[in-house]
Amino acid sequence: MQPTVTTRTRAGTLTGLFALLLIAAGLALPAFASRSLIQDLFFILTMLTLAQLWNLLAGYGGLVSVGQQAFVGIGAYAMFAGVILWGMDPVLAIPLGGLAALALAIPTAFFAFRLAGAYFAIGTWVIAEVTRLLVAQWKTLGGGTGTSLPREATSNIIGVETIRALFDVREAAARDILAYWLALALAVLTIAAIYALLRNRLGLALAAVRDNAEAANSVGIDAGRIRWAVFLIAAAMTGLVGALIYVQTARISPDAAFSVTDWTAYVIFIVVIGGIGRIEGPILGVLVFYALQTLLADYGAWYLLTLGLIAIAVMLFAPRGLWGLISDRTGLQLFPVQRRLTGISFKGGQT
Amino acid sequence: MPDILTLTDVSRSFGALKVTDGVSFSVPKGQALGIIGPNGAGKSTLFNLITGNILPDAGSITLMGRDVTRLPARARVRMGVGRSFQIPQPFEGLTVFENLAVAASFGQNRSEAAVTADCVAILRDCELLHRANTFAGALSLLDRKRLELARAMATGPELLLLDEIAGGLTEGECQALIATIKGLHAKGTTIIWIEHVLHALTAVVERLLVLDFGRVIGLGEPEAIMASREVREIYLGIEV
């Protein structure tokens, strides 16, 4: 029997089928769901995408960035610039967010990659703060107080009229549905792309660099180039999410768009409690985060204190997160990436 | 046999400390060379200079007839330099097979599918086949040492550098490792081996090089080197 390598598991195949059903249901959902549910799902999907991207950076790439809000903010502002300065359709201006974040990521990586560990984390945060202060000087886009998307831009967004006719809803609800579909598409695309990357040989290289950069170099892996690639991809995608979030809110300010709490602290919380270094982790984490937010939102500071305590408890007692606990007990892998060698015989057995 | 590696007057300092001091030697293709010397003699630094992990201040390094003195480590791996580390550095989040697959795929720039058969053969040679699907972080010390060797082999080396791979093993484990290394050498791989476990080293190598304070103080057949008065005084601490 020839030795073969497989990543396929039954749970993985079932997950694939279930995911297809879920995507189909997600696309059809606006026909039945209330506007508030659509808005909640938009929030969940965008946070999930941000969490998957941070997980790619920190969990797979070993790059613990605390400055991802820089890319959310610059992506959102680039979309606003496209709409206000050049008269673009807000949805068509979303790619500008990705490009702007990519452009910002290049000098950010240039400086931050000279640092390691905690210094890297703080360095990325400082760069994000500097970017926020610079953007606050941009008077055309509202300076420090911010601005809103012009009425004429939000009332003529591509596809909104069709959605209005299709679901017989008001314009604002139609805009929410469009944003929700785009968030769904971005979340699916991000998870699929990360999964494909991890199944590729680059996924192995990424894990090798994360585990030991010196040893990775000694087997011919260009650790520096891999880190650059991961950082730039995550930044560009984060910029797209930032632009999409602010298409939906239609109102921006530097403090909100570059918020370390909203776009990095919550995202880290989601990844840590769900399980770092696994695609399943952020999916579970975002559901827990949403449940906690719904239950505790009225308790102000107690809400944040509770989040902090839960994060500390998980880090102490389940360092690989809730999914790590489940996976350790059941061996379950919904997104299997481990290469298993089968069909080999050796003294004393077969695998 | 032509020389696979030649070092000419290679020197390297860290601050005021000269760790490698005018080192010159050649290794013919297919030979096994042992390197001995007291702790701090500059043995591991010499390996880092050969692999390109650090660059020399002076002198030149030639690999298979090509001057590689300023060439980065990755490029030297692709030219056929494989190494193991003194303290095993496995990719702990990957399985044993995945450790080899990533090394073979990137070290030889081939697709994952194309290297599977080679990886299986190396795992069998290094007696790790039964651990193929085990996470590297869960291995015993002997298996970690074997994995160091196997991963270095997976990069497809013409020249294999082993750094104290027998250290910390029991006598039985050491004999098993010697047999594995002998097997690899018999297939034509050139080996440079730093080791304190002298009987392991002399069981494999054809020549010994002695380093002290970054200088070569002896190079020749193992019996002659071990009989040398200077080596016995400096390395073995025996007053002659």
Question: CA-based angle A5:A10:A14, to the nearest 5?
Answer: 130
B144 touches chain A (CB under 8 A): no
Per the CB < 8 Å rule, is A339 touching B95? Answer: yes
Query: Does A328 reach chain B within 8 Å, measured CB to CB?
Result: no
What pLDDT was estimated at residue B127? 87
Q: For residue range A222-235, list pLDDT tens digits in order.
A: 989 999 999 999 99
Interface contact B91-A222, CB threshold 8 A:
no
Nearest residue of B to residue A277 by CA position?
A: B93
pLDDT band at B240 (very low <50, low <70, confident <90, very high): very low
pLDDT of residue A303: 87
Is the pLDDT at B237 greater than 80, yes or no? no
A25: number of Cβ within 10 Å: 10
Mark yes or no for CB contact A211/B78 under 8 Å: no
> Hey, of B98, B128, B131, B162, which one would you mutate to test binding to chain A, going by the most A CBs within 10 A of its CB?
B98
Tell me the average pLDDT of chain A: 93
Q: How far is B89 from chain A (nearest CA, A)?
A: 6
CA distance A268 to chain B (A): 21
Under-70 pLDDT residues of chain A:
1, 346-351
**Chain A interface includes B138 (CB < 8 A):** no
- Using 50, 70 and 90 to split pLDDT, how confident is the model at B236? low
For the segment B133-162, the average pLDDT, to the nearest whole number, is: 93
pLDDT at residue B239 greater than cutoff 80: no
Mean pLDDT in residue range B60-77: 93
Q: Determine contact: B44 vs chain A, CB below 8 A.
A: no
Average pLDDT over residues B118-124: 93
3-state secondary structure of A133: helix
- Give Cα B216 distance to the centre of its chain: 18
d(CA A236, CA A194): 14
Which comes out higher in pLDDT, residue A351 or B122? Answer: B122
Residue carrying the six token digits 């008001």: A170
Note whether A201 contacts B105, CB cutoff 8 Å: yes
Mean pLDDT of chain B: 91
Reply yes or no on whether the pLDDT at B26 is more than 80: yes
User: What pLDDT, in 10s, does the model give residues A138-166?
Assistant: 999 989 899 999 998 888 899 999 999 99
**Which residues does chain B have within 8 Å of residue A341's beta carbon, measured at their own beta carbons?**
97, 116, 120, 132-133
pTM of the model: 0.87
Is ipTM over 0.90?
no
Residue pLDDT, tens place only, B45-55 = 999 999 999 99
| Residue B167 pLDDT grade (very low, low, confident, very high; cuts 50, 70, 90) | confident
Domains for chain A: give ranges and CATH numbers: 12-259 (1.10.3470)
pLDDT computed for residue A8 by the predictor: 86
Chain A interface includes B52 (CB < 8 A) = no
| Chain B residues within 8 A of A220 when measuring between CB atoms | 74, 77-78, 103, 106-109, 155
